[in-house]
Amino acid sequence: MTDHTDIIGRSGTDDIEAILAITNRDVDEVAHTVRAEADAIFTWDYERTRPALGKLYEKAKTSQWNANDLPWDIEVDQEKVARENQNQNGFDREADYTDTPFEKWGDEEWIRFGVESQNWTLSQFMHGEQGALICTAQIVETVPWVDAKYYAATQVMDEARHVEVFARYLDTKLSGHYPINAHLEMLLDDIIADSRWDMTYLGMQIMVEGLALAAFGFIHQMTTEPLLKKLLRYVMSDEARHVAFGVLSLQEYYQQLSGPEIRERQEFAFEAAVRMRDRFLQQETWERLGVDVKEAVRAMLRAPDRPIFQSMLFSKIVPNCKKLGLLDAGDGWLRQRFTELGVIQFENWVDTGEEYALLDEVAKDRAGASA
């Protein structure tokens, strides 16, 4: 087994003790400060030289939507939703849970887990979207190309809207917030603190937003709740453009980098992938339910449907890393790491640089209204 201590702080990716040692000790924190050392770059060259980014900018301008237009009058019965979507988190409640904390769970316990899991999941989406809001504002400052500044400015508006809709859904339709997961917070802190603009792109546009896009798609497909389904479909339209923005920008920039510089970005992509995988172990949910966290996580990792659910979260990240040349650069280091994580099978799926137009729900709705 490869030792990853120098990258992720532990030897093995599945070391449960090390994963659970990382916890959020500031659950009552209202404001969180991260020092960003990046330079703000003015460009006096206003010539539009990147037509692909220009096209994306035009698409973003015509695809804005208003959170108030979502059907907020829909009543949400959270227990009913939890009952109808019991396998959404990679748990088959009919599986054999002998010698696990779930061995004697009945309908009441599974429904409560479903409710808390939804509270937790939407809370982490909300926190992640605020991270994207801050990172994209940073990109406006730090990226040296005017086409990229124009597009990033539209994404700042998108991210503000995403924070707004997830906060409103949590406040008015669900039954509780969760603080940010410690693994997600560590990753966001690292992305924001890095002074290099392309690392902000890689961490947020490719990794965090890529995983979010896949997760939103999975939940959108599974959920029976119409307001959440509509909300997620609109958010996915934006997220696909955001990931495409990262692919289009970094594909050009990475052609200029040296071998050691590319290797550093491969390692950062791997670290981000592990951090995001770790956050989906939901340790805060188990704590709130009063379940032994270590035993719950151990059972979660062994759940029959868990490998499929977990790997699907990387279905956007892997092909985008391949498009950027990160997968096989050098000695194929990142390919080996993604193989270890069990996600390499997605390498030939469509990359988001090509599929964002297919997910433009706003354009589809407007076309339907005018037909």
Q: What is the pLDDT of residue 369?
A: 56
Residue 77 lies in a domain: no
Q: What is the pLDDT of residue 92?
A: 73
Q: What is the pLDDT of residue 357?
A: 65
Q: What is the pLDDT of residue 370?
A: 46
Residue 210 lies in a domain: yes
Phi, psi (degrees; rounded to nearest 5) at 81:
-60, -45
State the Cα–Cα distance between residues 127 and 201, nearest whole angstrom. 18
Provide the CATH number for the domain around residue 291.
Answer: 1.10.620.20
The list of the chain residues with pLDDT below 70 reads 1, 87-90, 352-371
The domain of 122 spans 54-62+99-362
Residue 145 lies in a domain: yes
Residue 142 lies in a domain: yes
Q: How many domains does the chain have?
A: 1
Residue 356 lies in a domain: yes
Q: What is the pLDDT of residue 14?
A: 81
Q: Are residues 189 and 24 in contact, defined by beta-carbon separation less than 8 angstroms?
A: no
Residue 204 lies in a domain: yes
Rounded to two decimals, the pTM is: 0.92
Torsion on CA atoms 135, 140, 144, 146, rounded to nearest 10? 140
Residue 309 lies in a domain: yes
Residue 23 lies in a domain: no
Q: Are residues 129 and 166 in contact, defined by beta-carbon separation less than 8 angstroms?
A: yes
Alpha carbon distances (Å) from 253 to 50, 154, 249, 343, 344: 12, 21, 7, 26, 24
